[in-house]
A and B are shown apart, each in its own frame.
Chain A
């Protein structure tokens, strides 16, 4: 048991994650070819517009399911909504936010773009603390719109007239997942502006612009899009129930900042917060790079069902440092 633990703690999480992401990308984007179907409540951008996907991102059905009159929430369609949400929550709490760091195809694409950048020797940019705090609220706004717009199609919200049907999956229309992920299946038809109506023109036009920003942004900034992701906001509501956890023992922390510096999303609390035990923030994608960068014995721990699976250890840190020049 101790030998297994030591092996894991000495491991290089980055290499493991790279290959895990490749496998997860393959499964979620091409799994359909093998008739894999994981349902349509996945807590990751396994986009419905990619035909060969192995399961669908929950945000698409969510928008459809809330698009009904208030009264129906208590009827059969309401049950459908509840089942969808429950399935999503069950999927989510299994791996918590590691869905973002290990499985989300759109996240993986961003990591690949970063790999291109590092290969070219171009530096990443970072947000100042103030900008970061300002921007991180956007994902909650997007999540609110994502639910309110479809609701407003079937209902009159606060006395306003009902919204046009073209807003049914408004978020999907602006999501870079819809435009980017089908490309990997050879389908570039989403890279277009739909002029069928004014609403669609605006939405798909916005979608094209956001696609451009997505590539440019993730080229200069690690995990650029994740800071704005409404899925991340939705997930965070259930994060405390997650079976996979990231915890910190504040007394062991020297606040050296290694964890925060290697963090792709740029979370500062991971280094500065020395009181919280559960250290998962809304932007955290549970990649556990922080654990690998922490040189304090058991200060940071990733655990599944209370069993430590990856812990910060002095030995592990030293081993990774020793191997560093070999792997670059």
Chain B
């Protein structure tokens, strides 16, 4: 790409991105007026990140990550800041469409599209991009990223996570990754540094668990879209500040619970959201669900619960025990469909549906995502066997299918009305 064209592309994409972000935020804030006051912090974070531009920079090295399987504790212990790069912007999607195969999923096109522009306003300066070998599209992204001029670390991951061999391979892989991080930042990962990182991320995750637990409330205390924005902010926000903001939100929700302030009626259909991740600003499907009168009470997606749910524990405060602990945390409970078995994901969905009293499940597949598409079969069968209604949706980041989708979603929510009433 010649310089002039790149500059033009950056500029127009920036304008489109800002419009997109503004529209999503507008829908979130205006369509549902009874937000907790603590949500303002998160809206503001997105307004800054997508409006005035400029990612948080504080002199520390920044390590971009492409999937949830990157053990963030190691990145932090090495003195760097992890930044999740997966993008949900249609503006970037269109940039990526220029050089990626037509059948690539929107998330890939958007993420690589964003990175191809090499604009610090979008992703900040990145000292390293870590690309776990998850799905085929991500796997092949490494070379492209190198072409764009990034330093790339391909974090090799096993295709299954049940066998001891897979675990050993992963542990070795993570150990090497730690060494690569040390080379990048020049900071040694000591046991104290790693213990601090595990503790700080553990506190963030514990804060998320509080929020997650509050979503079990029989009448919804928070919109699912709001909760998704909270977890999406974790992609780029300062760790301790984020933890504080989530705890403040949880405090407020607990207070609202005592005062019986809810964001949805008793009969609102409770939805469990699963499938391809809804990443800001592409909250199209979650917003449609809640605009149709449903409320998302739980999710099983890698931009929300899968990103933050799991907690690492170790026995001995030493690297030989803590590194495997964070490696296991990132791999073993991960229900990503790239792994050979879908059984853990099914168990997780059934448990979530039960503990969160979900009336139905919405399964989003972003067009082009083979693993999620293929897992629809086994997941669908298991949900049917458990008598849980399921809506399968294939969509992308574009606005074209909005009308058609809203009809389908409304019909689904409507069909759950009887069930919701019986439950309430």
A243 to B: closest C-beta gap in Å? 28
| Residues of B contacting A289 in the complex (Cβ-Cβ under 8 angstroms) | 315
Q: Are A318 and B206 in contact (CB under 8 A)?
A: yes
| Given the contacts A129-B164, A314-B206, A258 and B316 also touching, CB distance less than 8 Å | no
Q: Is the CB of A274 within 8 A of B347?
A: yes
- The CA of A289 and the CA of B314, in the complex, are separated in Å by 10
- Whether B196 lies near A321 (C-beta < 8 A) is no
B window 333-381: CB within 8 A of A: 333, 344, 347-348, 350-351, 354
Of the residues B199, B310, B318, B321, contact of A254 by C-beta under 8 Å = B310
Question: Which of A5-13, A93-101, A117-125 has 4 or more CB atoms under 8 Å from chain B?
Answer: A117-125
Which of A258, A293, A318 has most B Cβ within 10 Å?
A258
User: With an 8 A cutoff between CB atoms, is B213 at the interface?
Assistant: yes
B312 near A258 (CB under 8 angstroms)? yes
A162 contacts which chain B residues (CB < 8 A)? none
- Tell me if A321 and B350 are in contact (CB < 8 A): no
Known: A261-B314, A325-B195, A328-B317. A251 touches B351 (CB 8 A): yes
Docked Cα-Cα span, A257 to B164, in Å, equals 12
Q: Which of B40-48, B57-65, B324-332 lines the interface with chain A? A: B324-332
- Give the residues from 293 to 328 in chain A that come closer than 8 angstroms, CB to CB, to chain B: 293-295, 314, 317-318, 321-322, 324-325, 328
A255 close to B (CB within 8 Å): yes
Chain A, interface residues (CB within 8 Å), range: 20 to 34
Contact, CB under 8 Å: B325 / A128: no
Interface 1/0s, chain A 119-161, versus B by CB < 8 A? Answer: 0010110001100000000000000000000000000000000
What is the minimal beta-carbon distance from A69 to any residue of chain B, in angstroms? 49
Report the separation of the CA atoms of residues A314 and B312 in the bound assembly, to the nearest whole angstrom: 12
Q: Among A258, A293, A324, point to the contact of B199 (Cβ < 8 A).
A: A324
Give the complex CA separation of A251 and B332 in angstroms.
16
Report the Cα distance A258→B317, complex, angstroms: 14
Instruction: Decide if B294 is an interface residue (CB 8 Å cutoff).
Output: no
Check A321 against B344 for contact (C-beta < 8 Å). Answer: no
Residues in B neighbouring A254, C-beta threshold 8 A: 309-310, 332-333, 344, 348
A64 is an interface residue with CB less than 8 A from chain B: no
B162 cross-chain contacts in A, Cβ below 8 A: 272
B253 to chain A, nearest CB (A): 16
User: Is B203 positioned at the interface, with any CB of A under 8 Å from its CB?
Assistant: yes
Chain A residues with CB under 8 A of B313 = 258, 261-262, 292-295, 317, 321
Q: Given that A123-B318, A293-B313, A321-B311 are known contacts, is A255 also in contact with B202, CB under 8 Å in the complex?
A: no
Q: Does B223 belong to the interface (CB within 8 Å)? A: no
Does A252 touch B at the CB level, under 8 Å?
yes
- How distant is the Cα of A251 from the Cα of B196 in the complex, in angstroms? 31
CB-based contact B202/A318 at 8 Å: yes
> Contact string, A268-303, partner B, CB cutoff 8 A, digits 1/0?
000110100000000000000100111100000000
Interface residue A256 (Cβ < 8 Å from any Cβ of B) = yes
Give the residue of B320, B324, B332 whose beta carbon is less than 8 angstroms from that of A255: B332
Q: Which residues from B are CB-within-8-Å of A256? A: 310-311, 328-329, 332-333
Least CB distance from B340 to A in Å reads 14
Residues of B within 8 A of A294 (CB): 313
Number of B interface residues in the complex (CB < 8 A): 35
B195 and A317 form a contact (CB under 8 A): no
The residue in chain A whose Cβ has the minimal distance to the Cβ of B161 is A255
Give B76 Cβ to nearest chain A Cβ, in Å: 15
Given the complex, which residues of B lie within 8 Å of A251, measured CB to CB? 347, 350-351, 354
Q: Chain A residues near B315 (CB, 8 Å)?
A: 261-262, 289, 293
- Chain B interface mostly: helix
Do B344 and A261 have beta carbons less than 8 Å apart? no
- A250: chain B residues within 8 A (beta carbon): 347
- Could you mark each residue 240-262 of chain A with 1 if its beta carbon is under 8 Å from any beta carbon of chain B, else 0? 00000000001111111110011
- Contact at B311–A317, with CB atoms within 8 Å? yes
Cβ of A215 to closest chain B Cβ, rounded Å: 19
Chain B 175-231 interface residues, beta-carbon cutoff 8 Å to A: 195-196, 198-199, 202-203, 206, 209, 213
Are A261 and B209 neighbours in the complex by a CB distance under 8 Å?
no
Contact A321–B314 (Cβ < 8 Å): no
Distance to closest chain A CB from B24 (angstroms): 31
The contact of A325 among B199, B324, B333, by CB within 8 Å, is B199
**A317, chain B: closest CB distance, angstroms:** 6
Nearest CB of A to B351, in Å = 5
In the complex, A251→B382 CA distance in Å? 14
A137 CB, min distance to chain B CBs, angstroms = 19
Q: Give the residue name and chain of the B residue nearest to A130 (CB).
A: B164
Whether B318 pairs with A258 at a CB distance below 8 angstroms is: no
Contacts of A274 in B (CB 8 A): 347
CB neighbors of B among A217-268 (8 A): 250-258, 261-262
Q: Chain B contacts of A258 at CB under 8 A?
A: 311-313, 325, 328-329
Nearest B residue to A321 by beta-carbon distance? B202
Q: Shortest Cβ distance from A172 into chain B, in angstroms?
A: 33
Residue numbers in A under 8 Å from B318 (CB-CB): 118, 121, 123
A252 to B351, CA, bound (A): 7
Interfacial residues of chain B within 280-331, with CB under 8 A of chain A in the complex: 309-318, 320-321, 324-325, 328-329
Nearest CB of chain B from residue A245's CB, rounded to whole Å:
22
Q: Which residues of A contact B324 (CB under 8 A)?
A: 261
Closest Cβ of chain B: how far from A214's Cβ, in Å?
21
Residues of A within 8 A of B350 (CB): 251
Q: Mark interface residues in A169-197 (1 if CB within 8 Å of B CB, else 0).
A: 00000000000000000000000000000
- Nearest A residue to B351 via CB reads A251
- In Å, the complex CA distance between A118 and B319 comes to 12
A193 to chain B, nearest CB (A): 36
CA–CA, A318 and B213, complex, Å: 14
Chain B minimum-CB-distance residue to A253: B347
Query: Are A255 and B344 interface neighbours, CB within 8 A?
Result: yes
Which residues from B are CB-within-8-Å of A292?
A: 313
Q: List B contacts of A128 (CB < 8 A).
A: 164
Are A322 and B203 closer than 8 Å at their CB atoms?
yes
11 pairs from A and B in contact (CB 8 Å cutoff)? A121-B318, A123-B320, A252-B351, A254-B333, A256-B310, A257-B333, A292-B313, A293-B313, A295-B311, A318-B202, A325-B196
Known: A251-B350, A321-B203. 8 other contacts (CB 8 A): A250-B347, A251-B347, A251-B351, A262-B314, A272-B162, A295-B209, A314-B206, A317-B311
